[in-house]
Structure 1
Amino acid sequence: MLKKLMILAASICMASQVNAASSRQDLQDRVDAAKAVLDQIMTAGDKGIPLGILQQATCVAVVPGMIKGAFVFGAQYGQGVVTCRTGHGWSAPVFIRLAGGSWGLQIGGQSTDLVLVAVNEKGFQDLLKNKFKIGANASAAAGPVGRNGEASTDWKMSAELLTYSRTKGLFAGIDLDGTSISQNNTDTDTYYGQEYPFQTVLKGNVAVPQDSVAFVQTVAHYFIEAKNQ
């Protein structure tokens, strides 16, 4: 009975966040926070994402402040932004949701920044889906960290997405199996002031809004830096 009550309470809490409407300013704050997270990670010297991985990137997703909480039943929920590489640069951003849960003897809560890097065409196609689950519908691996981290793993053979987390300043690869990623069409439409399919935006057929140029340029900067290393 207690287990059911805990699951119900966590579900209600998560549902309230999912259904809460975001204003245009809320979404701009999310885009700005994503840029800040990426800058902080990539300027962390030998503790950031290896440049060799960014050379392979087809899309980059940043989820600032994903909330993880637990009281026996664990739940996690976050909202983020995605940009993908196109034939003429990086795309305008779209908005996504991440949600997952776990059961175990646990208590506490924390806020975690997440970065997901799609490293091939399959990873790009995953992000065009309305919803998919890591580990079931898309293969992912905890991404290596450090300037030469990409040399010690077989991620090129097995993963479509590389996943990272940063909690309290500690940056590392993370296992996100069981986490669902879904398109946030409502937020995307609110940000652009009209309806755009994810595929249209991520394939570069929508101009980058002035307010999100800084985020997109930040992703492009680190991608070009990786290519030129």
Structure 2
Amino acid sequence: MIRFSHTIASRSVALVAAMLVLTPSLAAAEGQQRHPSDDSATARGPQKLVDKAVSVVAEMDRDPKLHALVGRAAGIYIIPAYGQAGFLIGGRGGAGVAVARTASGWSTPAFFSFGGLNIGLQAGGDGGSVVYLLMNRRAVSQFIDRTKISLNANAGYAVVKYSDADQANLAKGDVIVWTNTKGAYAGATIEASGIHADDGRTREFYGRDLSPRAILNGQASAPGARFLQQALAR
């Protein structure tokens, strides 16, 4: 009986020891689940949109002149993908993320959907990413103060397309538009309209309701924004 009790006690000690060893691993696994941007392949919903924006910023960084413009921008609106093979050309609906420069660095992302994305040339091409560099606070204020905005020449500020602009013209732009579009769309004019705050994605990403003003003024934090903020700060 004594030998049997000793065996049970030994097994109990071993079980407790194993649980103590496994606990940090389980906590780490839980942490990875809570911060899916550490593994973009498992991210979903708004986190996936943010992770795709990181890839777009990395692509822009390969162009030294574009990298310098990002360094001067007061804000950025990134549409990671607007469709392929003509999808959404003159069509409706899509989503992107906006960030703004604050006194302490780049803000976390504010989510904005758009009602339409119009591309001047209506045939050919493969789709791609579109980025609007907001070069001054006035352009950023459009995202903060208006219920719906448009990013085009009719919005009251100078919009310059990066691909066909010389340095002098770039300096005059309130908004500079860049796209990695190939094929027939490459020379087209790209305009986003009906841009509005995406409350659903915001709530899912932050776990609570937040206004674009609070986010773009740097009053929000989120672990899933870390890689995007680091990419922009390089």
Match of 1:32 in 2: 51
1:216 shift after superposition: 1.1
Q: Establish whether residue 137 from structure 1 lines up as the match of residue 151 from structure 2.
A: no
- Name stretches of at least 5 consecutive residues in structure 2 with no aligned partner: 1-42
1:167 aligns to what SS in structure 2?
Answer: coil
For the pair shown, the structure with the greater C-alpha radius of gyration is 2
Does structure 1 conserve the Cα–Cα contact (< 8 Å) formed by 2:119 and 2:185? no
For the 8 Å contact 2:124–2:184, the answer to whether it is kept is: no
Question: Quick one: which of 103, 108, 130 aligns to 1:92?
Answer: 108
Q: Give the distance between the partners of 2:117 and 2:78, measured in 1 at CA.
A: 20
Structure (1 or 2) with the greater strand fraction:
1
Task: From the superposition, tell whether residues 80 and 181 of structure 1 become closer, same or farther in structure 2 (CA, over 3 Å).
Answer: same
Identify the residue that residue 119 of structure 1 maps to in structure 2: 135
Name whichever structure is richer in helix by fraction: 2
User: Deviation per CA, 1:60-112, whole angstroms, max 9, x where unpaired?
Assistant: 121111126659x8325431111110111111111112332669995567422
Amino acid at match of 2:202: T
**Preserved contact between residue 68 and residue 77 of structure 1 (Cα < 8 Å):** no
- The 2-side partners of 1:168 and 1:103 are apart by 13
Residue 162 of structure 2 is aligned to residue 162 of structure 1: no
Q: What's the TM-score once normalised by structure 2's chain length?
A: 0.68
Shift of residue 204, structure 1, vs aligned partner? 0.5
TM-score, normalization: structure 1?
A: 0.69
**Which of 39, 51, 59 is 2:75 aligned to?**
59
Q: Distance in 1 between matches of 2:120 and 2:73?
A: 35
| 1:139 and 1:161 in contact (8 A); partners too | yes
> Which position in structure 2 is the counterpart of 1:214?
227
**2:214 equivalent to 1:200:** yes
Q: Does the 8 Å contact 1:165/1:174 carry over to 2?
A: no
8 A contact 2:85–2:126 mirrored in 1:
yes
Amino acid at match of 2:148: K
| Structure 1 residues 55 and 74: alpha-carbon distance in aligned structure 2, compared to 1, 3 A threshold | closer
Give the match's secondary structure for 2:58. Answer: helix
Aligned residues: 189
Structure 1 gaps, min length 5: 1-23, 222-229
Q: Calculate the aligned-residue CA RMSD, in Å.
A: 3.3
In structure 2, give the amino acid aligned to 1:182: H
- CA 1:101–1:42 in structure 2 vs 1: closer, same or farther (change >3 Å)? closer
3-state SS of paired residue (1:152):
helix
